[in-house]
Amino acid sequence: MRSGDYESSLGNTIGTAITFLVIGLGAGALLGLMLAPKTGKQFRRDLKRGYEDAKDTLQDWSQEARDRVREVKEQVAERGADVVDNLREKVEPMRRAVNRG
């Protein structure tokens, strides 16, 4: 046996082919069941449920986004007020010195 080559037997080749055949048949059967046509009534009902679920999810996400934006705005306002207060404290002594001079 040379380096890089491998030895296979006819039994392994047939076993591999049968394995892939069984996997393919299983996948095909599963796909066929998933894509089986439905009656118009069933399809419309499923479509309506999907639409309602998506709508509910979007409403939940939008409410969550509004809540987060509100929280961020409050945090920014608080930080801004803190920054202004700190600057006022630092500038006040300079303002007094300028007014005296």
| 43-47, 77-81, 86-90: least confident range | 43-47
The reported pTM is 0.44
Report the 10 Å Cβ neighbour count for 9. Answer: 8
Rg for the chain, CA atoms, rounded? 35
Convert the pLDDT of each residue in 12-29 to its tens digit.
Answer: 788 788 889 889 988 987
Using an 8 Å Cβ cutoff, are 46 and 39 in contact?
no
CA distance 71 to 42: 43
- The reported pLDDT for the residue numbered 1 is 47
Using an 8 Å Cβ cutoff, are 7 and 1 in contact?
yes
Using an 8 Å Cβ cutoff, are 15 and 7 in contact?
no
Report the 10 Å Cβ neighbour count for 55. Answer: 10
Place of tokens 């939940």: 60
DSSP 101: -
Average pLDDT, the chain: 82
Convert the pLDDT of each residue in 63-82 to its tens digit.
Answer: 999 999 999 999 999 998 88
